[in-house]
Amino acid sequence: MGLFTFKGGVHPYEGKELAMDQAVRELKPGKELVYLLSQHIGAPAKACVAKGDHVLAGQKIADAGGFVSAPVYASVSGTVTGIEKRKNATGGLVDAIIVENDDKYESVTYEAGDPDKLSRDEILAKIREAGVVGMGGAGFPTAVKLAPKDPSVVDHILVNGSECEPYLTSDYRCMLEQPEKIVGGLAIILKLFDAKCKGVICIENNKPKAIEIMKKAVQGHANMSVAVLKTKYPEGAERCLINAITGRTVNSKMLPADAGCVVDNVGTVMAVYDAVKLGKPLIDRVFTLSGDAVKQPGNFLVPVGMSYQEIVDQAGGFKQQPEKMISGGPMMGFALFDLNVPVTKTSGAITAFLKDQVAEAKETACISCGRCLHGCPARLMPCKLADFAEHGDAESFEAYYGLECVNCGSCSYQCPAKRPLAAEINMMRQTVLANKKKQAQAKKKA
Amino acid sequence: MSEQYKVSVSPHVRDSITTSKIMLYVIIALMPATIFGIINFGAHALLIVCVSIASAVASEYCYEKLLKKPITTNDLSAVVTGLLIGLNMPPQIAWWIPVVGSVFAIIVIKQLYGGIGQNFMNPALGARCFLLIAFSGQMTTYAAGDKFANLADFVQGEFTSHAAGALDALSGATPLAYLKQGYDFNLGALFAGNVTGVIGETSALCLLVGGIFLLIMKIIDWKIPVIYLGSFGVLVLITAAVRGYSNPCLYMLEELCAGGIMLGAWFMATDYVTSPITYNGQIIYAVFLGVMTWLFRMVGSGSEGVSYAIILGNVITPMIEHYTRPRAFGIAKEKKQKKEAGAS
């Protein structure tokens, strides 16, 4: 069978062997848990507890702040000690509810549900109420994603188990350890769409064990299958994945549903299962700690709100003081300047490196080698776009489709001149989009 | 918290490829042809190659030092330029001519336009064309050594019946001149390189080995060299057939092995800076080079066709790039839909 893939992409060192054989281990949080109110795309959640309140694990502590938003739940029992600004992984300060852990882990009782007896709207309500968001990193509220304007056009539910980001192995472990949960979650999602809708679990061919296990797990489900993808970064990027599996194309102005697809990460599908079948809100997630600086790389079940520092400490710490600390994987993750950051619904990993390759690389002049073009999954000309960005030429930037960039970083990775192409393009893209928004608002007023 | 880590924007890993590594691979790929040239033409050829490289590197260093710019000689691009200039010199040329060429290539063509990556034409080829005009006598005299005194021995039969008799007038010329007159040449000698010509161009075999090495190392893409050679070959084949030569196929192969086309196609037309980076642009550029080389060789004077063809290709590269910029992923479909909507 041929492998599914897309045009473009790069082959960074995978580094999966460090953590891939480590079974998921549950970690207990420390004294203080921090629940950020913005852990998803959309409006921040609104706190519904006050300082001094006693909360239970699984108790809602913040309501959704709008339609595109998600509620937040406590992952431990304890006392709310404050609502204040805290730092997130990208370095921004956002509102957060601080809970002091009483180490009793008293939990609310979850109300199990039978998806067969629930209507479409009831299922969606359960997913929304459980605070499920895209756990691959984007954090888009899943209930919104699963309710497109016209559900009848959706004929593919793609479960993203490609995990193309180097070093990360959390999705892989989930597929090995809880295949029935993934299949169960997918079955629930498929109920929301027409009978013709197919569920496809997409896995890169560097995970043969996961492919085997998932293939066994989908047996007996006529509307489910496993698709084997070529191992290439960014195979798991939404637009690339849709193109690889269906051949359809999605640009920045379209939603996946416009191409008849809904893409959900493995972790998200499991959270959907928990939400609908068990009635359990999203309060924990599987997390990878890896990189050459980590003493014992592994995969862990961590509660939302736990600090990164505690994860590292409990997992065994570092071999040596790392030079670079990344929240997420090395291609799209965010560099951290310290570990005093809480786990959110979307944080999937810490990657720690002894050496920082970026600091070592010296930028030289572009020699127009074209490597960035070959690697770009959006088929852009990154070297030109970066030039336009440097000159602040928004017009040419748009004419060369700069807004189609998905910030995957393939161009920067491949550049022999070590130009920070992706960073420059992304910054310009944000500026152009912000200006457009401003102009649109000005027009509305006038 | 006392622990502090380095912060940068993603991605946090980089490929190990660098500009100097790329240049090093090009130098390695040129080694078979260089070594063959030196063995073929003797010690003077070695001297020419060495002074070319030394003067290219020295000009870059002095210029940057003088203008207080960062020194970029470590990227090895000046070595590549110097080496290519050396390989493009007739073997018996006075040593100072390539020096003039190297200085011109580095200072005028490369540095005055902003250094590496900014030049609009290949520095080595620009220098060669400059020298061809400035010292046309010396640059086109292939003073044949003893070994090549009877180059005509290699001439086998004739492609045309009326070419006989002109043979004497051609002594000391390159195989290309014979071919232009319609003589059949020894293909084996052309391929191996036991013929006259500039230092680095004679052995098609050595150049091919270097070119394939670059392909394997993914330094160059197959499109430019293969399409360039292919389009030129097809045109020559047609020409030979129209002119009624007895063996058009053999004639085509000999044209492909003679002169500078192998050196040009693998090592000069593929220069990153001066060739298009777009997929379609590379195809147009390569076909353009093939057509121009054919024009220069078959219709024009016959020699130096490759150099001029590539220089012209370099000049129109920005225009080719502009008109062939790829449509972004997912955009084509949108436009089609709009058209359909407009039609209905």
List alpha helices for chain B, DSSP H.
Answer: 19-41, 43-66, 77-87, 96-103, 123-134, 136-139, 175-180, 187-192, 204-216, 223-242, 248-257, 261-263, 279-294, 305-323, 331-343
Q: Count H helices, E strands: chain B?
A: 15, 0
Instruction: Name the percent of chain B lying above pLDDT 90.
Output: 65
Asked if pLDDT for residue B169 goes beyond 80, the answer is no
- Gap from B218 CA to chain A (nearest CA, Å): 10
User: What is the token pair recorded at A301?
Assistant: 């079940």
Q: How far is CA A285 from CA A72, A166, A237, A305, in A?
A: 14, 19, 20, 11
Distance of CA A143 to the CA centre of its chain: 16
Contact A331 B5 (CB under 8 A): no
Contact A366, A414 (CB under 8 A): no
Candidates B215, B204, B264, B210; CA nearest to B31 is: B210
Contact A380 B328 (CB under 8 A): yes
Confidence (pLDDT) at B176: 79
Candidates A294, A271, A291; CA nearest to A134 is: A271
Contact A367 B328 (CB under 8 A): no
Confidence (pLDDT) at B238: 95
Chain A residues near residue B221 by CB distance under 8 angstroms? 370
Contact A12 B12 (CB under 8 A): no
Confidence (pLDDT) at B1: 46
Chain B residues near residue A357 by CB distance under 8 angstroms? 12-14
- The minimal CB distance from A367 to the residues B5, B9, B116 is found for B116
Contact B5 A333 (CB under 8 A): no
Helix (H, G, I), strand (E, B) or coil at A157: strand
Contact A365 B117 (CB under 8 A): yes
Phi and psi for A141 in degrees, rounded to 5? -55, 125
Residue B344 banded pLDDT, cuts 50, 70, 90: very low
pTM for the complete prediction? Answer: 0.89
Asked if pLDDT for residue B341 goes beyond 60, the answer is no
CB pairs under 8 A between A and B: 173
Mean pLDDT of chain B: 87
Whether the CB of A69 is below 8 Å from some CB of chain B: the reply is: no
Under CATH, which number does the domain A111-278 receive?
Answer: 3.40.50.11540
Cβ count within 10 A of residue B197: 26
Helix (H, G, I), strand (E, B) or coil at A435: helix
The residue type found at A343 is V
Contact A209, A231 (CB under 8 A): no
Instruction: Name the percent of chain B lying above pLDDT 70.
Output: 86
Interface test with A, best of B2, B5, B335 (most A CBs within 10 A): B5
Chain B residues near residue A249 by CB distance under 8 angstroms? 329-330, 332-333
Contact B82, B57 (CB under 8 A): yes
> Who contacts A330 (Cβ-Cβ below 8 Å, separation ≥6)?
A12, A165, A166, A167, A351, A353, B10, B11, B12, B13
Candidates B63, B143, B87; CA nearest to B268 is: B87
How far is it, in rounded angstroms, from Cα B248 to Cα B72? Answer: 48
| Out of A96-100, B29-33, B155-159, least confident range | B155-159
* Burial (0-12, 13-18, 19+ Cβ within 10 Å), B168: exposed
- What is the DSSP secondary structure assignment for residue A152, as one 8-state letter? G
Whether the CB of B331 is below 8 Å from some CB of chain A: the reply is: yes
How far is it, in rounded angstroms, from Cα A388 to Cα A399? Answer: 10
Contact A412 B116 (CB under 8 A): no
List alpha helices for B110-222, DSSP H.
Answer: 123-134, 136-139, 175-180, 187-192, 204-216
Whether the CB of A335 is below 8 Å from some CB of chain B: the reply is: yes
Whether the CB of A354 is below 8 Å from some CB of chain B: the reply is: no
Mean pLDDT in residue range B174-203: 81
Contact A251 B326 (CB under 8 A): no
Residue B332 banded pLDDT, cuts 50, 70, 90: low
For tokens 């810490």, the residue is A350
Candidates A376, A363, A370, A13; CA nearest to B274 is: A370
- Among chain A residues, CA nearest to B328: A379
Contact A162, A203 (CB under 8 A): yes
User: How many Cα atoms occupy the beta-carbon half-sphere of A316 within 13 Å?
Assistant: 12
- What is the DSSP secondary structure assignment for residue A192, as one 8-state letter? T
Q: Omega before A416 cis (within 30°)?
A: no
- Among chain A residues, CA nearest to B277: A370
The sign of the CA dihedral B85, B91, B97, B99 is positive
How far is it, in rounded angstroms, from Cα A227 to Cα A222? Answer: 14
Contact B22 A359 (CB under 8 A): no
- pLDDT tens for B73-89 read 999 999 999 999 999 99
- Among chain B residues, CA nearest to A357: B13
Whether the CB of B243 is below 8 Å from some CB of chain A: the reply is: no
Interface test with A, best of B8, B12, B19 (most A CBs within 10 A): B12
Q: Edge-to-edge strands of the sheet including A60-63?
A: A46-47, A60-63, A72-73
- Gap from A422 CA to chain B (nearest CA, Å): 8
Q: How far is CA A364 from CA A175, A339, B59, B226, in A?
A: 43, 32, 20, 30
Gyration radius from chain A CA atoms:
22
Element (H, E) at B16: none
Interface test with B, best of A321, A413, A426 (most B CBs within 10 A): A413
How far is it, in rounded angstroms, from Cα B273 to Cα A6? Answer: 28
Whether the CB of A383 is below 8 Å from some CB of chain B: the reply is: yes
- The minimal CB distance from B75 to the residues A326, A335, A364 is found for A364
- pLDDT tens for A89-98 read 888 899 999 9
Contact A256, A242 (CB under 8 A): yes
Chain B residues near residue A166 by CB distance under 8 angstroms? 13
User: What is the token pair recorded at A380?
Assistant: 């852009």
* Burial (0-12, 13-18, 19+ Cβ within 10 Å), B215: middle
Residue B156 banded pLDDT, cuts 50, 70, 90: low
User: What is the token pair recorded at A59?
Assistant: 């108790």
For tokens 């944000």, the residue is A430
- pLDDT tens for B246-292 read 888 988 998 999 889 999 999 999 999 999 999 999 999 999 999 99
Q: Omega before A234 cis (within 30°)?
A: yes
- The minimal CB distance from A420 to the residues B7, B9, B115 is found for B9
Confidence (pLDDT) at B336: 46
How far is it, in rounded angstroms, from Cα A428 to Cα A369? Answer: 23
Chain A residues near residue B12 by CB distance under 8 angstroms? 324, 326, 330-331, 333, 335, 351, 353, 356-358
Whether the CB of A239 is below 8 Å from some CB of chain B: the reply is: yes
The pLDDT profile of chain A, 446 residues, written as one tens digit per residue, is 578 999 999 999 999 999 999 999 999 999 999 999 999 999 999 999 999 999 999 999 999 999 999 999 999 999 999 999 999 988 889 999 999 999 999 999 998 889 889 999 999 999 999 999 999 888 999 999 999 989 999 999 999 999 999 999 999 999 999 999 999 999 999 999 999 999 999 999 999 999 999 999 999 999 999 999 999 999 999 999 999 999 999 999 999 999 999 999 999 999 999 999 999 999 999 999 999 999 999 999 999 999 999 999 999 999 999 999 999 999 999 999 889 999 999 999 999 999 998 888 889 999 999 999 999 999 999 999 999 999 999 999 999 999 999 999 999 999 999 999 999 999 999 999 999 999 999 988 87
How far is it, in rounded angstroms, from Cα B318 to Cα B70? Answer: 27
Chain B residues near residue A380 by CB distance under 8 angstroms? 326, 328
User: What is the token pair recorded at B308?
Assistant: 């001029």
Confidence (pLDDT) at B190: 83
- Among chain A residues, CA nearest to B334: A251
Contact B329 A243 (CB under 8 A): yes
List A residues 245-274 in contact with B (Cβ-Cβ < 8 A): 249-254
Chain A residues near residue B272 by CB distance under 8 angstroms? 367-370
Confidence (pLDDT) at B164: 46
Mark B5-33 as b/e (b = at least 16 C-beta within 10 Å): bbbbbbbbbbbebbbbebbbbbbebbebb
Cβ count within 10 A of residue B222: 13
Distance of CA B314 to the CA centre of its chain: 11
Candidates A304, A282, A283, A280; CA nearest to A110 is: A280
Confidence (pLDDT) at B181: 72
Chain B residues near residue A326 by CB distance under 8 angstroms? 10, 12
How far is it, in rounded angstroms, from Cα A24 to Cα A315? Answer: 12
- Among chain B residues, CA nearest to A242: B330
For tokens 């008109």, the residue is B323
Asked if pLDDT for residue B306 goes beyond 50, the answer is yes
Contact A423, A361 (CB under 8 A): no
User: How many Cα atoms occupy the beta-carbon half-sphere of B162 within 13 Å?
Assistant: 4
Cβ count within 10 A of residue A321: 11
How far is it, in rounded angstroms, from Cα A421 to Cα A414? Answer: 10
User: What is the token pair recorded at A308?
Assistant: 């990164």
3-state secondary structure B76-113: CHHHHHHHHHHHCCCCCCCCHHHHHHHHHHHHHHHHCC
Whether the CB of B161 is below 8 Å from some CB of chain A: the reply is: no
Contact B117, B23 (CB under 8 A): no
